[in-house]
């Protein structure tokens, strides 16, 4: 899978204009139908409603031309954890330090690609590390997608958090 992430074609648009959906962090509206063969982040192989699918980018965004098509620092995203087939979301946890209460968000973008060949650096919650968090890990643009809350009755659930 990492090979597909590093060989994702680079989008090179015109001088004017905005990259289309499927480029880097540019969201793909739920109204855009997916085609057979499109890659998506999914839990199992079955038929699902389009609103439950998050398409993977078809092109990398060039940071020098289309920086607006990248996720910003500290964006909460779903990202493919290295050496797995699982996408993980950023999580929040409450931390109390010297009487100060603050939210710590993990699983977020720690570094945005600077060159077309760069990966994102993403930190994940990971109990196998003594700190409880992985060091920032390189994740190809193809495997970093927007996190979105599921609207409806149970607002505590989210796509990608099951």
Q: Residue 161: is its pLDDT beyond 50?
A: no
The residue among 92, 78, 85 whose CA lies nearest residue 120 is 78
Type and span of the H or E element at 4 = helix 2-6
CATH topology classification for 2-146: SH3 type barrels. (2.30.30)
Cα gap 82→140, rounded to integer Å: 10
pTM given for the model:
0.62
| pLDDT over 90, % of the chain | 19
Give the pLDDT confidence of 134-156 residue by residue, as tens digits.
888 899 999 998 887 666 654 44
């Amino acid at each position: 899978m990492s090979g597909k992430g590093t060989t994702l074609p680079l989008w090179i648009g015109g001088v004017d204009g905005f990259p289309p959906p499927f480029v880097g962090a540019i969201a793909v509206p739920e109204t855009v139908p997916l085609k057979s063969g499109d890659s998506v982040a999914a839990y199992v192989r079955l038929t699902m409603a389009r609103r439950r699918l998050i398409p993977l980018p078809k092109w990398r965004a060039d940071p020098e031309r289309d920086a607006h098509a990248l996720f910003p620092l500290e964006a909460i995203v779903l990202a493919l954890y290295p050496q797995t087939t699982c996408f993980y979301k950023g999580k929040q946890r409450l931390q109390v330090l010297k009487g100060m209460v603050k939210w710590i968000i993990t699983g977020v973008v720690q570094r945005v690609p600077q060159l077309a060949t760069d990966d994102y650096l993403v930190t994940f919650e990971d109990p196998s590390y003594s700190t409880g968090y992985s060091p920032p890990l390189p994740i190809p643009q193809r495997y970093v997608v927007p996190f979105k809350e599921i609207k409806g009755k149970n607002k505590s659930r989210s796509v990608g958090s099951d």
